[in-house]
Chains A and B, each alone.
Chain A
C-alpha cells in the first residue's frame, strides 16, 4: 500500500514535471502571482507562508547540506545550458545566413551546394527569370558561385599534420550586392582576374596565415590574402576569390561552371513566381529554395544531435542531483521533526507543511539554476567552436549563444529537479506521527 502510494506520487510528480517543462516563460509570473495570492488571502496560505519563513530563517544553520542542492543543480544546469547554447549558436549561425528574400538555385536532386553543378548557360537562363531584384545599373542581382575546398594549416598546430578543410567560394561582382551584410573590416576586396582572396573572420580565427598581405599556398599556387570580411553568419568561415580564377584552378575542364546561383528577389512574395518560372523551364533541371529554407535544413540534423546529447547528459546528471536533493531534504526534515510536529500539534494542517518544504527546496534549486546559468553564460557565451558542417566542404566556426530561451530551459530543469527532490521529504514531514516525533530525542 505504502509502495503504491509512493508510485502514484512518483507518476503524478513526473507528469507535473513534463507539463512544467513544456511551459513558456510567461507562465512563471502567473504561477508566482497565484501562489502569492493564495498565501495572502487564504488561511492555509498564511499558515504556509509562516512555516516557510521559519524554515528559511534556519537555513543558515544548514548551509553545508543546502549547498549540496545548490551545487548539484548548478552543475546540471551549467552542462545543459552549455550544450543547448552550442546547438543554438550553430543553428542561428546557419539560419542568419539565409533570408526569405534571397533564393538559391541548385541542380536537381543535389542535397547541398558542393554536390551541385550548373553550367554557364544555365546560370544565364536563371538570371533572366522574373522576380529578381535589379542593381543600380539595371542588371539582375544573380550570383553564380563556385564552391570548392582547400586544405590549410590549422592555427597552433603542426603544419604538416594539423590541416583543416576550408570552403573556398568563387564569386563575381554581384555577390557583394547580394550579401550586403558582408563588410570588409581590414584590407580591401580582391581584384578580378588575379589570385587574390578575402578571408572571413571565422576562417581567420581557425586557420594559420590568413592575414592581410600574407600569401597562402593552395595546391602549388600562391594566393594573396588582401582583405578580411565580417558577415556574422556561416559565410564568415569561408574564403572568397574571383570565380573566374578559382574555376580554372579547380576544374580545368568546363571551367565556366558553377555550383549554385544565388539571387536577390524583389521581395519575399516574388519567390513563388520565380520558382515556378525556373521549374517549368524545359532548359533547366533545378531545385529552387529560399536561402532561409536551405540553410535551416542544413543545420537541422546537427543541432538536433547536439540538443539530444545535451538532454541525455543533463538527464543523467539530473538523476544524480535529484537524489542529492532528496538526501539533503530528508536530513533537513529529520532534524526539524520536532519543530514540525509541534506546529501540527498546535493546529497547522499537512498542506502548509508540504508547501513550506517544497518552497524551500525550490528556492535552493532556483539559486542553483541561476548559478549554473550564470557560470555557463560567463564561460561559454561567445565561445568559438567549429565543426565540419553538413552540406559544406569546410569547417564552420560558430559561437555558443546562451540565449534567454536556453537559460529559461535551464531554470525549468532546476525547478523540476527541486520539485522532485522536495516532494518526498515534504510528504514525509506531513505524515510524521505527531506523538512519536514529539517524543524523539
Chain B
C-alpha cells in the first residue's frame, strides 16, 4: 500500500496513452455490464419466491390447446394443492392489430395465486361486481394514459364476441400494481373469464391453462406428477411445470441468450487483453532505466515484479469500476427513458463482483509478461541502455 503513490505516478507517466487505454477498458466493461444485466434478467425471470410455489398446468399436446373446465375441481382434490386458478389467452390489441397487449381472461380467484399483485380493495370490489370490467397493469395504464372508469375498445386477434365482431369494449375498473413492476401483470390486462366464455361463441367452457399454488415448495414435484396423472391417457393430457421451469423453457426457445452473451464477451475481452497488453509492454520498455534505478537503490526483484503487476491490475480495475459505474447510471435512467417497459435491468452485486474479478484476472494476465521482464532486468545492462 505504501507504494501506491509510486505505482500511480508510473501509471500516469504518459497521460495520453493511459487515458486512451483507459477509455478502451471502460468501453469493454460497459459492454460487459450491459450484457450481463441482460443475461441475468433473462436467467432470473420467473425465479421470484412465489414463482417456485406456483405450478402451470397446460395441455401436453401444445400450449394453444385448451383444457376442460371440470379438470379444475379434480386438481383441487390433489393433496398439497392450496389454490387452483385458471386463465385463457385473449389476444388483445389496441387500435392496430399489431399493437399487442397481453390480455388474459381469468377466474375470480386468479389473484389468490398471485399474491405479489396488488389491487386496491375498492377497485377489486368494483371489478368483481362488473362482469364487463377489466384490470389494467400500471405500466400499460401509464403508457397509454388511461384512467379508471374509461371505456376501453380492445381487439381480440382470435375471438369474436356475440355480434361476430372482434372489437370488444371493456370498462377499466382498477389498476394492477406490483413492487418495482416486477410481476408480469403490471404489463398486461385481465378480464373476467365468465364474461369471455359467455360472450364468445367459440370457447364452450374451456380453459387455457391452470395455475396451481402448492402448500409446500419442496412438494411441488410430487403434486405436478399427481396432477398429470389425473388426465393420463385421456384426450387432454396435461403437462405440469413450476412457473420457473416454464419460463426458463420459454426463454430457451426464444434464444440461447447465454451463448450469445458469452461469445460476444469472449471477443471483447480477447481484444482487450491484446490492446492493454501492448500498452503495458510499451510502458515497461520505456521505463527500463527507471526500473534499473529502483533496483539499484535496493528494491528487490520481487517488489519490482509486484509493482508492475499492481500497475496493470490498477489500470484494469480503474477502467472496470468506471465502466460498471456507467452501466449503473444507465440502468437507473433506463426505466424512465423506456416509459417503464424495461424494469429488470439493475447491476447487482453479482455483476460487480464478476466484473471486478475479470478486471483483476485480465490485469494479472497482461501484467505478467512485462513484470517478468522487469524482474529479470540486469541493472548494468539496463543502465547502459543495452
Contacts and interface: CB of A to CB of B under 8 A. Distances in A.
Nearest to A320: B27
B61 A150 contact: yes
A326 B282 CA distance: 15
A58 interface: no
Interface string B193-234: 000000000101000000000000000000000000000011
A219 B59 contact: yes
B64 A65 contact: no
Contacts of A64: 278, 281
A219 B253 contact: no
Interface in B222-269: 233-237, 239, 241, 245, 249-250, 252-256, 263-264, 267-268
A219 B253 CA distance: 20
Nearest to A316: B31
B275 A149 contact: no
A220 interface: yes
Contacts of B21: 323-324, 327
Interface residues of B, number: 59
A253 interface: yes
Interface of A: 64-65, 67-68, 71-72, 74-76, 78-79, 82, 108-112, 114-115, 117, 148-151, 161-165, 168, 218-220, 249-250, 252-253, 313, 316-317, 319-321, 323-324, 326-328, 330-331, 385-388, 393, 395
Given A320-B272, A327-B21, A110 B61 contact: no
B20 A323 contact: yes
Interface stretch (B91-99, B298-306, B350-358): B91-99
A163 B264 contact: no
A165 B253 contact: yes
CB-based closest 9 A-B pairs: A219-B61, A320-B27, A149-B62, A75-B271, A115-B157, A320-B24, A327-B20, A323-B23, A324-B275
A220 B237 contact: yes
Given A163-B249, A387-B255, A151 B274 contact: no
A417 to B, nearest CB: 12
A114 B278 contact: no
Nearest to B99: A111
B373 interface: no
A393 B235 CA distance: 21
Nearest to B268: A317
Residue of B250, B278, B281 with highest tally of chain A CB at under 10 A = B278
B124 interface: no
Given A151-B239, A320-B23, A323-B20, A253 B272 contact: no
Given A165-B63, A250-B61, A313 B271 contact: no
Given A151-B61, A219-B59, A219-B235, A67 B30 contact: no
